[in-house]
Structure 1
């Protein structure tokens, strides 16, 4: 179990020993830092999209030339892709290799000029940047409501650092407390059997409210990039109890591929607030 979470402003962030690389980073060209956002007018706040952009740009400031970078999936991570591509085109960064967490991210990254590879060629990832659907006080996450949880978890678990970028609406007292889905990726074969097994397991949870197969707009089962299905779990007031034990129970069910609880993986969370301020949470 990682240590306590310590909130702090970004400018006061103190590097921790586990963030120091054994190898020296290559020299980098000077680049212009992301300007601090102007304070929101009294009685008004930034839009959620503006908050996402602020968090993403702050995270990209941690990318160094020569790094292997895990590229997240989703609307917040998209801002990081755009910023990283811009810095590469300007020459402020060079020799960066991106490892995409989805086919959509791979297409976006290629379009903005980010060179791509995979974990087979780069099993060590220096830094991953991705969004999250929920963040609890211990920096555990729910991810994968966009359907990319398996590839996201593979790449982000292989990273020396995993920086999560969110707006303040994603902070929750416990995982599942938003009452939105906690996804589980399953093989298509006998998926109704797997759905029943998940319900039986989670009926022991006091706030478990149900599980259902995710469907696409045409009513057919939603397909992940790995051609698997997603079963969405719902909780009325979040998941209580030992998250690691619940995780292990889900993963022991035959037919389950992976779930969207990212436990103990994030090393830093950058939170953009409606007033334009930024909070950094470190393990």
Structure 2
């Protein structure tokens, strides 16, 4: 299912594009499909902008030319995954702790295409999937206390196969936040959290998504559809 939706995303790509390369399992499949199309000559003169160290390493392994985000004024298309997508195409991202670079790329892209499987579609954000908040290492406790005053419970994300917390590509820590009633006003919550001293960025992607491709299983066959944005 993930492969089918990744392949569908590549059909949105045209030669000569500067392409934002997302992070995560579905985005990794998309990057591999992109490399196949470039090797076959169907897509030419593609340059990628990586959203994480993970996508950068994969692109280099597959010989996809990369350019630095700071060296481009605009990106034609960014393709990325999401952890939750609501009917208005507002997102929670950051399950892989890459949301800062992902948001930088998304905000510079002419179009943001999100690729997910059907399990990522929700009516309300943050009822079950926590909101990642990237914080400076010496500020996490202070930020946690402020979020608690906003009726949010948070935990410091701990690493697996490593003692201690997850450390982001920027050298910061992640607080995973669940609000008592979820997030009904993403724009307001995004602004309030980012105004807390010590916060670098959070995983709410508000008013950035142009199109969503969704994979699902229908009659034992993986299919892809593009839902309409709710008004």
TM-score (norm 1): 0.77
Query: Which residue is equivalent to 1:229?
Result: 173
Aligned length: 225
* CA distance in 2 between partners of 1:236 and 1:198 (Å): 11
Cα deviation 1:11-59 (Å, max 9, x = unaligned) = xxxxxxxxxxxxxxxxxxxxxxxxxxxxxxxxxxxxxxxx111111101
- 1:186-197 maps to which residues of 2 (within 5 A)? 186-197=135-146
- 1:67-216 maps to which residues of 2 (within 5 A)? 67-177=17-127, 179-200=128-149, 202-203=150-151, 208=152, 210-216=153-159
Query: Which residue is equivalent to 1:277?
Result: 223
Q: From 183, 186, 198, give the equivalent of 1:239.
A: 183
* CA distance in 1 between partners of 2:139 and 2:68 (Å): 31
For the residue of structure 2 that corresponds to 1:277, the secondary structure is strand
Larger gyration radius, structure 1 or structure 2: 1
Instruction: Indicate the larger mover: 114-123 or 93-102.
Output: 114-123
* CA distance in 2 between partners of 1:277 and 1:84 (Å): 19
219 and 197 in structure 1: CA distance in 2 versus 1, 3 angstrom threshold: farther
* CA distance in 1 between partners of 2:124 and 2:210 (Å): 18
Instruction: Indicate the larger mover: 104-113 or 271-280.
Output: 271-280
For the residue of structure 1 that corresponds to 2:158, the secondary structure is coil
Query: Which residue is equivalent to 1:251?
Result: 194
* CA distance in 2 between partners of 1:250 and 1:70 (Å): 26
Q: Do the aligned partners of 2:49 and 2:69 also contact (CA within 8 Å) in 1?
A: yes
Post-superposition, which runs of at least 4 consecutive aligned residues in structure 1 deviate over 2 A? Answer: 235-238
Runs of at least 5 residues in structure 2 that lack an aligned partner in the other structure: none
TM-score (norm 2): 0.94
Return the offset for 1:113: 1.5
Q: Do the aligned partners of 1:88 and 1:113 also contact (CA within 8 Å) in 2?
A: no
* CA distance in 1 between partners of 2:215 and 2:16 (Å): 27
Query: Which residue is equivalent to 2:206?
Result: 263
C-alpha RMSD of the superposition = 1.3
Cα deviation 1:56-89 (Å, max 9, x = unaligned) = 1101111111100000000010110000011111
Q: Do the aligned partners of 2:93 and 2:99 also contact (CA within 8 Å) in 1?
A: yes
